[in-house]
């Protein structure tokens, strides 16, 4: 409203602060609303003021979120990690979350590394593998540094087959491992013979067959699949049954028609995917990685491009602060535990799967997935309300991911770190819970809030770049 | 009696709510004393005055919440947690329809109702960020908060100019926009006089004087106490003046401020001269009062001169002693000073043991961690009570300001101590800035103060003149 | 409306309710209690609430006076007053002629050139004749004929002021028009026509007048006015065209 209109137009007032001033407006029958304000997270005042003074974040964020939402991820291939992942060597082992050392690693990560070393033939037994790790004879590096993402421990070794996801609208590419299924699997830190055998089968059969199928049917439009899955009750993090089903449909004819592959193998592959409701999760995570990488490195932008955990630390990165990680201790997830497990059995939060919340899925799309609520604990209204709160800390509503229960409103996408510290609203993540001991597996699922400290540190660092 | 003191960090509540919580606790059976407050120096000293054990709260800082209670026994103490909790959360933002979560920052709140205006009154060190977001979201903004840095004020106003928006403030206590009172404002009749002011109470006094004369107000835009400084260059005042000049519904404009920087004063007079609407420029100082400016407006609109409402005292007797002023606002205190000093010589502007003084209890040192004295009269009442036995005081001058946002019944709180003072032979003179439409009831307040023994004047200049007369004789 | 509420408390009549408004007859006037959704009429008390009509019952007793309105259990205390007479910027007749040209083509069946001429030539008999033909004609809570007449009278007065013309002719019409409104149309609509004659108008109409005199965007304010009510909008715009034509025509003669 221009200054001229202030003369004639009726005021509609938003207030923040002393309540009696708001009450005075109500008493005068003025249309008004009061914000439920509290001071920003301790230590961030000066940084927020600096950013407001410079005035660069709004435009930078607009650019960054536009880039994030313009990405059109397509599953095009499966290949060996050593052949496609940048920076991969014969002794490089990628892991979920921010940078980590063996000394600080938790049970699931250690177990998964042991399993990966045995699988690669570098070690023949657990104690040998441990010794190699302790000596530092291998290189540990975050998946995120290599255009890759992995759920739970997220270990990627050279021989593993990885999905290749490309941007149809640009030249970005991202990778992820293929999902092993539930129970005793590498990503939960298991390393027994069954685990190794399965990994071998995935390398020799699953990977090549899916690759051949993709060459046959052409690229699979992951964006379209995810959008549909959201309207079928998936949330894109803890519930992926619809998406996995849709994926199988996309691959189906290609699988059947491929006569170069033995029938037995084709059947095994079909049954493997069919029996694993979370098969789509890894691919969906790679699609997310493509989107966040596209949005990275915009100077001055407070858009969150990474939320990831390594079982010890929770790490956050912003577009405007490049590769810098901002970490805090990974929280213990509070939720529903399977069987007789309790919070005492739980490992701290782990995995790159918070990439889904970073791109408007998972905890940010819970209203689309009522079934999830019972699974993660809590009430339906409470969980949906928490999802609604996410709109206040995000930059946009997703053009493709829509929530039928909210009149097809786009999911809240593009977390703005400055909004997180100003509102006190932390991003809400739906996640599985791993047992703290290697190899036991999933013990439950729940909701966890990304630690405020990460965002506080990030905003302070962003302000430093602006001065 | 049992004392209990707790100190909590990470809790935040605004000062008015804390005051209400203290009252709620004190009103509970079995409680003889209670204070719920942030750990500022002023509040810590109040706790010491109340004889709470210093060791229990000496570690508390300004960001900590202190709850200090004195009760008859443990049982009484036990019941208080609920009372306190209710008081601190009562009427908190009600999410209302559809269980939608409440907005936490100004731009989300604005978006939720399609707002075109933002009113910001959070502590000054946080206000810049919210105000800047509001401007960036395309809203006009009134920053009620004070203690915003000069640099931030300049940046806000520069950004506002770029977007054809107006920033009223920081430290803007009063505005009336299209008949809507924002901040501390009086309910006055609509009309064709517009006011632009760098002083909130200045605006309040002028609008009430005009209302008393039957002249209505079109707009009264506050621009912030520092707008006419050199650095800010009257950015908001000049733009407000231009907009009101172009307003067909405004017949005359009054500009009111304490004396601005000389270059700014010149620019203002030039701008006023260029307006097609008549402008009365009132830079307050010796010889220039709010009543005087109002009288000029009245004559320019062709209305007959007004005799402003007053409830004078019948006699001029008072015990010997100095004049002490207990003001809740700086502008009215300064006006009193400009009127009285020529008569009796320089007066102290800070509390003093003897001699004349006019103190502004809205000053930072008396309001740290407390609500403004126009709402919370605690400190002023304490001083007035002390004055009863202080034989060095003979005449007392105070202001009572009514209107939206202000204390719901200041006269009731003041009446007992005024009676005591009058009974002890002190002459009590009160200016009462209000209008007949105010929620407190102007006539009712005036009558209560008068019955208690005070001489009451709508015009602060008249009250100050009377005080000067009593002390110095013959103004 | 202040005079209505200032007097002693006296009974009023509940004329009707809709979802967003309550209409009360008191003395010779009609008082409208409306909520945020409703268009702000000149004789309205506006509430910052939603769905006002649900708050009362059809057979509640009504009292008006002593500063308040009482309907059954509901006590209404006005807190803030607005002036329904807009102060328009001064403008020249040629400026007005230019902006008035942008008004949409007058397609209303009832709008007549007779009223334009009657106003322009200040012919009392012809003006009253036109008024009597318009009043009560058409559909709606406010019949379209009433809206056309109200729009014409209000714009003739207010735009006349803006170009510096004295309103004596309208003042002389007042008695005759008022008498017609009391017999030929509903009390609610008649009250609005009487207010319009004095230049007291609904807010969207004020917006359109401001735009014609150079304050605001004409297209959007006319668009806003057109959407008022179910049939009132276009009729009010037709009235606006009549009033402004009469002003510019008069000066051309």
Q: Kindly report whether the global pTM for this prediction surpasses the value 0.90.
A: no
Q: What is the pLDDT of residues A209-227, one digit of tens each?
A: 999 999 989 999 999 999 9
Query: Is C116 within the bounds of a domain?
Result: yes
SS (H, E, C) A4-70: HHHHHCCCCEEEEECHHHHHHHHHCCCCEEECCCCCCCCCCHHHHHHHHHHCCHHHHHHHHHHHHHH
Contact call for B179 and C80, based on CB within 8 A: yes
Alpha helices, DSSP H, located in B213-279: 235-245, 262-274
> Could you tell me which residue, B73 or A356, shows the higher pLDDT?
A356
What is the structure's pLDDT at C75? 82
| Rounded Cα gap, residues B128 and B123, in angstroms | 10
Write the Ramachandran bin of B366: left for phi over 0, alpha for psi from -120 to 50, otherwise beta: alpha
pLDDT of B474 strictly over 60? no
Would you state the pLDDT for residue B95? Answer: 35
Size of interface B-C (CB pairs under 8 A): 22
Statement: B2-89 belongs to CATH 3.30.70.60: yes
pLDDT of residue A113: 97
Q: Which chain B residues are closer than 8 Å to C86 by Cβ?
A: 249
User: Does residue C203 sit in helix, strand or coil?
Assistant: helix
Q: What is the pLDDT of residues A272-295, one digit of tens each?
A: 999 999 999 999 999 999 999 999
- In tens, the pLDDT along B311-330 reads 999 878 888 899 999 999 89
Find out whether A192 and A184 touch, Cβ atoms under 8 Å: yes
Confidence of residue A375 (pLDDT cuts 50, 70, 90): low
Residues of B in Cβ contact (< 8 Å) with A54: none
Residues C97 and C172 in one domain: yes
Please say whether the beta carbons of A108 and A311 come within 8 A.
Answer: yes
Is the distance from CB of C157 to CB of C143 less than 8 angstroms?
A: no
**Whether B15 and A18 lie within 8 Å, measured CB to CB:** yes
Q: What is the DSSP string of B66-79?
A: EEEEEESSHHHHHT
Place B91 in a pLDDT band, splitting at 50, 70 and 90.
low
Q: Which two tokens stand for residue A315?
A: 């790490």
Specify if C106 maps to a domain.
Answer: yes
| C2: closest chain B residue by CA | B189
Q: Which residue has the higher pLDDT, A373 or C146?
A: C146
A300-311 pLDDT per residue, tens: 999 999 999 999
| Judgement on whether residues C168 and C143 belong to the same structural domain of the protein | yes
Mean pLDDT value across residues B218-246: 97
Q: Give pLDDT, residue A376.
A: 62
Q: How confident is the model at residue A185 (pLDDT cuts 50, 70, 90)?
A: very high
Tell me the nearest-neighbour CA distance from C87 into chain B, angstroms. 5
Backbone φ and ψ for B212, nearest 5 degrees, come out as -60, -35
Q: Which residues of C touch B189 (CB under 8 A)?
A: 81
Sheet holding B31-38, edge to edge: B2-9, B64-71, B31-38
Same domain, C49 and C101: no
Q: Which residues 234-253 in chain B show a CB within 8 A of chain A?
A: 239, 243-244, 246-247, 249
Is the pLDDT assigned to residue B406 strictly greater than 80? yes
Residue A47's pLDDT is what?
Answer: 98
- The pLDDT value recorded for residue B364 is 83
Is it the case that residue B455 has pLDDT exceeding 80? yes
Q: What is the pLDDT of residue B94?
A: 39
Q: How many domains does chain A have?
A: 3
Contact criterion met (CB < 8 Å) for A16 and B247: no
What does the pLDDT average to over C86-101? 90
Measured CA to CA in angstroms, residue B458 lies from A344, B375, B417, B440 at distances of 71, 19, 21, 15
Bridge-based pairing of strands B190-197 and B167-168 is unpaired
| A43: in domain | no
Q: Using one digit for the tens of pLDDT, what is the confidence trace for C117-141? A: 899 899 999 999 999 999 988 877 7
Judged by a CB distance cut-off of 8 A, whether residue C172 touches chain B is: no
Give the residues across from A33 on adjacent strands: A14
What's the pLDDT band for A244 if we cut at 50, 70, 90? Answer: very high
B2-89 shares its CATH topology with B106-300: no
Nearest CB among C79, C210, C216 relative to A29 is that of C79
For chain C, how many residues are written? 253
> Is C213 among the domain residues?
yes
pLDDT score, position B289: 96
Query: Does some domain include residue A233?
Result: yes
Distance CA A277, CA A371 (A): 14
Residues A213 and A259 in one domain: yes
Q: Which two tokens stand for residue A297?
A: 């490195």
The closest of A390, A311, A393 to A352, measured between CA atoms, is A311
Q: How confident is the model at residue B50 (pLDDT cuts 50, 70, 90)?
A: confident
**Is residue A88 domain-shared with residue A134, that is, in the same domain?**
yes
- Looking at residues B150-155, what average pLDDT do you find? 98
pLDDT band with cut points at 50, 70 and 90 for residue B228 = very high
Tally A–B CB contacts below 8 A: 188
CATH architecture for segment(s) B310-472: 3-Layer(aba) Sandwich (3.40)
What is the pLDDT at residue B99? 65
CB contact under 8 A, A9 and B116: yes
pLDDT tens-place string over residues B61-76: 877 889 999 998 888 8
Average pLDDT, integer, range A155-184: 95
Report the distance separating Cα A68 and Cα B348, nearest Å.
Answer: 64
Confidence class of residue A129 from pLDDT cuts 50, 70 and 90? very high
Residue B429 CA, chain-centre distance (Å), reads: 19
The span from the first CA to the last CA of chain B, in angstroms, equals 54
Angle of the B262-274 helix axis to the B235-245 helix axis, nearest 10: 10
What does the alpha-carbon distance between residue A355 and residue A284 come to, in Å, rounded to a whole number?
9
Chains A, C: CB pairs < 8 Å: 21
CATH superfamily of B106-300: Succinyl-CoA synthetase domains (3.40.50.261)
Residue B93 has pLDDT above 50, yes or no: no
What is the Cα–Cα distance from B460 to B118, expressed in whole angstroms?
Answer: 31
Together in a domain, C124 and C225: yes
State mean pLDDT over B171-175.
96
Measured in angstroms, the CA of A89 and the nearest CA of chain B are apart by 48
- CA dihedral of residues A103, A108, A109, A110 (deg, nearest 10): 50
Q: What are phi and psi of B250, to 5 degrees?
A: -100, 125
Query: pLDDT tens for residues B292-314?
Result: 999 999 999 999 999 999 999 98
Q: Does A281 share its domain with A308?
A: no
Are A151 and A13 found together in one domain?
no
Segment A441-461 shows an average pLDDT of 94
Provide the pLDDT for residue C49. 66
pLDDT score for B256: 96
Same domain, C125 and C34: no
Nearest to B404 among A27, A49, A422 (CB): A27
Higher local confidence (pLDDT), B459 or C2? B459
The three-state secondary structure class of C189 is helix
Structural domain includes residue A292: no
Domain residues of chain B, as ranges? 2-89, 106-300, 310-472
CA distance A117 to A130: 9
B25: nearest Cα among B107, B83, B103, B73? B83
Of C224 and B120, more confident: B120
pLDDT band at A133 (very low <50, low <70, confident <90, very high): very high
Residue A335 and residue A383 in one domain: yes
Chains with ≥3 Cβ pairs under 8 A against B? A, C
The reply to whether C203 falls in a domain is yes
Q: Which one has a higher pLDDT value, B12 or C184?
A: C184
Clarify whether residues A232 and A342 are in a common domain.
no
Q: How many domains does chain C have?
A: 2
> Has residue C34 got a pLDDT over 90?
no
CA distance A178 to A269: 12
DSSP SS3 for A229: helix
Quote the minimal CA–CA distance from C42 to chain A in Å: 15
Q: Is A27 on the interface with C (CB under 8 A)?
A: yes
Domain hosting residue C116, numbered range: 93-252
Residues C131 and C220 in one domain: yes
Beta strands in chain C (DSSP E): 10-17, 21-26, 29-34, 44-46, 62-65, 68-71, 74-76
pLDDT in tens, A155-166: 999 999 999 999
Range of the domain at A238: 73-286
CA distance A115 to A196: 7
Confidence tier at B97 by pLDDT (50, 70, 90): very low
**pLDDT higher at B336 or C191:** B336
**How far is B138 from B286, CA to CA, in rounded Å?**
41
Distance CA B113, CA B135 (A): 16
Among C36, C79, C215, the residue with its CB nearest the CB of A31 is C36
- C37 interface with B at CB cutoff 8 Å: no
User: Which residues does residue C17 pair with via DSSP β-bridges, in sequence order?
Assistant: C22
Instruction: Name the domain boundary from C26, C49, C76.
Output: C76
What pLDDT digit, counting tens, does each position of A66-107 carry? Answer: 999 999 999 999 999 999 999 999 999 999 999 999 999 999
C150 and C224 fall within a common domain: yes
Residue A81 shares a structural domain with residue A20: no
Same domain (yes/no): A268, A326: no
Residue with tokens 């990778």: A175
Tell me the average pLDDT of chain C.
85
Instruction: Mark whether C135 and C225 lie in a shared domain.
Output: yes
The residue of chain C nearest to residue A9, with distances taken between CA atoms, is: C207
Q: Which residue do the tokens 């000149």 mark?
A: C42
Contact state of A29 with C210 under an 8 Å Cβ cutoff: no
In a domain, C115, yes or no: yes
Q: How far is CA A125 from the centre of its chain?
A: 33
pLDDT score at B96: 36
Q: Work out the average pLDDT over C141-169.
A: 90
Mean pLDDT of C82-107: 86
C120 or A320, greater pLDDT: A320
Query: What is the C-alpha to C-alpha distance for residues A7 and B241, in angstroms, rounded to an integer?
Result: 12
B342-355 confidence digits (pLDDT tens): 999 999 999 988 89
Q: Is the per-residue pLDDT at B473 higher than 70? A: no
Mean pLDDT of chain A: 94
- What is the predicted pLDDT for the residue at B11? 65
The helix or strand, by DSSP H or E, that contains position A308, with its residue range, turns out to be: strand A304-310
**Per-residue pLDDT at B397:** 97
Nearest to C81 among B179, B192, B246 (CB): B179
Looking at the structure, do residues C97 and C177 belong to the same domain, yes or no?
Answer: yes
């Amino acid at each position: 409203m221009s200054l001229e209109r202030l003369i004639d137009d009726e005021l509609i007032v938003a207030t923040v602060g002393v309540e009696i001033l708001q009450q005075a407006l109500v008493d005068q029958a003025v249309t008004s609303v009061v914000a439920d304000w509290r001071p920003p997270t301790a230590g961030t005042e000066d940084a927020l003021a600096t950013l407001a003074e410079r005035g660069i974040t709004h435009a930078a964020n607009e650019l960054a979120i536009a880039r994030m939402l313009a990405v059109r991820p397509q599953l095009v291939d499966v290949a060996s990690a050593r052949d496609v992942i940048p920076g991969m060597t014969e002794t490089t082992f990628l892991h979920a979350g921010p940078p980590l050392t063996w000394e600080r690693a938790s049970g699931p990560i250690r177990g998964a590394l042991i399993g990966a070393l045995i699988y690669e033939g570098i070690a023949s037994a657990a104690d040998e593998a441990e010794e190699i790790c302790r000596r530092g004879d291998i290189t540990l590096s975050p998946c995120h540094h290599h255009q890759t993402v992995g759920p739970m421990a997220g270990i990627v070794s050279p021989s593993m087959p990885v999905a290749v996801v490309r941007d149809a609208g640009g030249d970005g590419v991202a990778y992820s491992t293929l999902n092993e299924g539930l129970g005793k699997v590498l990503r939960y830190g298991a390393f027994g013979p069954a685990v190794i055998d399965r990994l071998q089968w995935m390398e020799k059969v699953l990977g090549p067959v899916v690759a051949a199928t993709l060459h046959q049917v052409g690229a699979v439009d992951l964006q379209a699949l995810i959008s549909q899955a959201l309207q079928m009750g998936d949330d894109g993090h803890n519930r992926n049954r619809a998406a996995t089903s849709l994926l199988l449909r996309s691959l189906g004819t290609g699988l059947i028609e491929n006569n170069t592959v033995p029938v037995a193998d084709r059947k095994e592959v079909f049954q493997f995917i069919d029996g694993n409701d979370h098969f789509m999760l890894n691919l969906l995570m790679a699609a997310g990685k493509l989107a966040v990488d596209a949005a990275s490195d915009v100077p001055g932008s407070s858009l969150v491009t990474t939320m990831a955990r390594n079982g010890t630390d929770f790490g956050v990165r912003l577009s405007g602060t490049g590769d810098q990680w901002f970490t805090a201790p990974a929280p213990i997830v509070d939720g529903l535990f399977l069987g007789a497990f309790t919070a005492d059995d739980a490992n701290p939060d782990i995995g790159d799967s918070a990439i889904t919340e970073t791109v408007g899925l998972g905890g940010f799309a819970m209203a689309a997935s009522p079934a999830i609520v019972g699974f993660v604990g809590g009430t339906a209204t409470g969980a949906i309300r928490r999802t609604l709160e996410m709109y206040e800390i995000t930059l946009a509503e997703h053009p493709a991911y829509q929530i039928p229960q909210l009149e097809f409103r786009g999911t809240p996408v593009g977390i703005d770190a400055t909004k997180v510290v100003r509102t006190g609203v932390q991003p809400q993540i739906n996640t599985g819970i791993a047992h703290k001991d290697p190899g036991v597996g999933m013990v439950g699922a729940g909701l966890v809030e990304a630690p405020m400290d990460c965002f506080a540190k990030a905003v302070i660092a962003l302000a430093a770049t602006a001065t | 009696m049992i004392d209990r003191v707790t100190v909590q960090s990470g809790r935040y509540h605004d000062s008015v709510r804390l005051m209400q919580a203290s009252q709620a606790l004190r009103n509970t059976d079995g409680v003889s004393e209670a204070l719920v407050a942030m750990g500022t120096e002023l509040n810590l000293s109040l706790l010491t005055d109340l004889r709470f054990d210093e060791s229990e709260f000496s570690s508390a800082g300004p960001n900590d919440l202190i709850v200090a209670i004195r009760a008859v026994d443990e049982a009484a103490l036990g019941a208080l947690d609920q009372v306190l909790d209710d008081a601190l959360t009562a009427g908190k933002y009600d999410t209302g329809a559809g269980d939608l979560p409440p907005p936490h920052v100004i731009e989300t709140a604005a978006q939720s109702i399609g707002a075109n205006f933002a009113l910001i009154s959070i502590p000054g060190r946080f206000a810049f960020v919210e105000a800047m977001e509001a401007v960036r979201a395309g809203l006009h903004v009134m920053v009620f908060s004070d203690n915003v840095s000069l640099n931030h004020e300049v940046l806000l106003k520069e950004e506002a100019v770029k977007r054809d928006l107006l920033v009223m403030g920081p430290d803007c206590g009063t505005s009336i926009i299209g008949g809507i009172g924002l901040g501390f404002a009086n309910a006055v009749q609509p009309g064709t006089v517009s006011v632009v002011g760098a002083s909130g109470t200045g605006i309040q006094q002028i609008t009430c004087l005009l209302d008393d004369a039957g002249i209505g107000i079109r707009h009264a835009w506050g621009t912030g106490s520092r707008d006419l400084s050199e650095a800010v260059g009257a950015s908001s005042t000049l733009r407000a003046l231009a907009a009101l000049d172009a307003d067909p519904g405004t017949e005359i404009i009054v500009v009111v401020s304490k004396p601005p920087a000389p270059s700014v004063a010149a620019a203002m007079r030039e701008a006023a001269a260029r307006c097609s609407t008549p402008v009365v420029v009132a830079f307050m100082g010796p010889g220039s009062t709010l009543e005087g400016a109002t009288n000029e407006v009245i004559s320019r609109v062709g209305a007959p001169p007004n005799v402003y409402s007053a409830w004078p005292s019948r006699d001029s007797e008072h015990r010997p002693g100095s004049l002490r002023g207990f003001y809740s606002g700086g502008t009215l205190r300064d006006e009193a000073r400009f009127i009285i000093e020529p008569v009796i010589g320089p007066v102290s502007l800070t509390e003093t043991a003897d001699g004349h003084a006019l103190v502004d209890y809205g000053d930072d040192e008396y309001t740290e961690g407390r609500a403004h004295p126009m709402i919370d009269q605690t400190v002023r009442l304490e001083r007035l009570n002390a004055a009863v036995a202080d034989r060095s005081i003979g005449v007392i001058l105070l202001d009572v300001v009514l209107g939206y946002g202000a204390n719901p019944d200041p006269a009731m709180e003041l009446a007992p101590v005024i009676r005591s003072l009058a009974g002890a032979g002190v002459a009590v003179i009160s200016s009462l800035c209000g209008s007949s439409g105010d929620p407190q009831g102007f006539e009712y307040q005036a009558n209560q103060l008068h019955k208690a023994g005070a001489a009451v004047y709508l015009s602060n200049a008249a009250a100050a003149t009377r005080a000067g007369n009593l002390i110095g004789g013959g103004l | 409306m202040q005079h209505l509420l200032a007097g002693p408390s006296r009974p009023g009549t509940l004329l009707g309710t809709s979802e967003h408004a309550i209409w009360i007859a008191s003395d010779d006037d009609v008082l409208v209690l409306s909520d945020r959704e409703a268009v702000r009429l000149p004789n309205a008390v506006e509430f910052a609430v939603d769905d006002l009509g649900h708050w009362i019952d059809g057979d509640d007793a009504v009292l008006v006076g002593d500063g308040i309105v009482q309907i059954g259990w509901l006590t209404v205390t006005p807190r803030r007053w607005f002036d329904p007479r807009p102060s328009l910027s001064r403008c020249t007749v040629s400026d007005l002629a230019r902006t008035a040209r942008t008004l949409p083509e007058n397609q209303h069946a009832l709008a007549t050139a007779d009223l334009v001429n009657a106003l322009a030539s200040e012919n009392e008999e012809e003006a009253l004749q036109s008024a009597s033909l318009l009043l009560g004609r058409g559909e709606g809570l406010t019949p379209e004929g009433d809206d056309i007449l109200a729009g014409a009278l209000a714009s003739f007065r207010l735009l006349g002021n803006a170009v510096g013309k004295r309103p004596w002719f309208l003042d002389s019409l007042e008695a005759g028009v008022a008498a017609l409104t009391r017999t030929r149309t509903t009390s609610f609509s008649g009250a609005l026509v009487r207010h319009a004659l004095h230049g007291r108008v609904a807010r969207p109409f004020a917006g359109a007048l401001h735009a014609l005199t150079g304050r605001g965007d004409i297209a959007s304010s006319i668009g806003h006015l057109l959407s008022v009510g179910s049939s009132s909008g276009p009729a009010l715009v037709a009235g606006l065209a009549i009033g402004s034509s009469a002003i510019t025509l008069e000066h051309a003669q």
